[in-house]
Amino acid sequence: MLPLLPLSLRSWYTALYLLLFFATLVQYFITSGSSPGYVLDAMRAVNETNVMYKKSSTASKQPASSKNGSLIVTIEGSQTGRNFQGSNPASWTKLVMDMYPPGTSIRAFSCFYCNVEQPPRAKHCHDCDKCVLQFDHHCVWLGTCIGQGNHCKFWWYICEETALCLWTGILYITYLKANISRAWWKDAIMILLLIAMAISIIFLLLLLLFHSYLVLTNQTTYELVRRRRIPYLRGIPERVYPFSQGVCSNLYDFCCVCSIYHLESLPSAQELEEKSRPYTCLDVLTCRCC
């Protein structure tokens, strides 16, 4: 392919390939160095906001904001968020337990390793020895957990890695076509490399499609694989996605929500019943799936 291109286009082709290579490399270090969103940090943010609220309420009657420097905590799905930003800020324990159904035991969702109450979708990672918000998995290639704080960065990394492998595979095939009869041992090495590249491309494509599915349905790998072992997901039918707000809302939250700690409450029985209702033509016209 490259020998047939003019010199100027060949230079642009090479420059774009190198740009994609360095972008993938940079994205790797960004993802590996980013925080997945630890429960201890979220609890610390809540405590600091409570202290800030008490100081400001003592000095004036104006309610305190829930923003403290770079620490932002948002709560969805219940009255807890309004209480937290209102006149009576809740402690971390009450904040977490209000996200579960009434009567839930604190011990059932307390981490014995970190000694903290875990909000829904959080899990303790034994490799990092910390509880992670919206825990997806621990990536051995990146050396870090994938969670709420870096799942979007991880998706972009595997997207760039897939594109880079596809492009490299095209270059390998082009080289083989141009030099197929020059030296048999070189061809053998290139064929072995091409086989390895094909396996990598298939793996990356499947991984990209799998995580794209998770993003569109607002799930995590841990929730999908261990659904029957997670207490608050056991009674929910397999085809119901309890945290999904629709494809468009899920994409917006995944890509555009800038909150560092985004806590989601468990849906009520009425919400679960609505989510389990089969789609009709009217639902499609009214964009219920979005």
Give catalytic residue positions: 139
The long-range contacts involving 2-7, CB below 8 angstroms and separated by at least 24 positions, are 2/171, 2/174, 3/178
Tokens of 226: 């261990």
C-beta separation of 71 from 48 below 8 A: yes
Tokens of 101: 């159904």
Structural element, H or E, at residue 214:
helix 184-217
For tokens 């420097």, name the residue: 69
Please name the residues in contact with 265: beta carbons below 8 A apart, sequence gap of 6 or more: 75, 76, 77, 78, 80, 98, 99, 100, 120
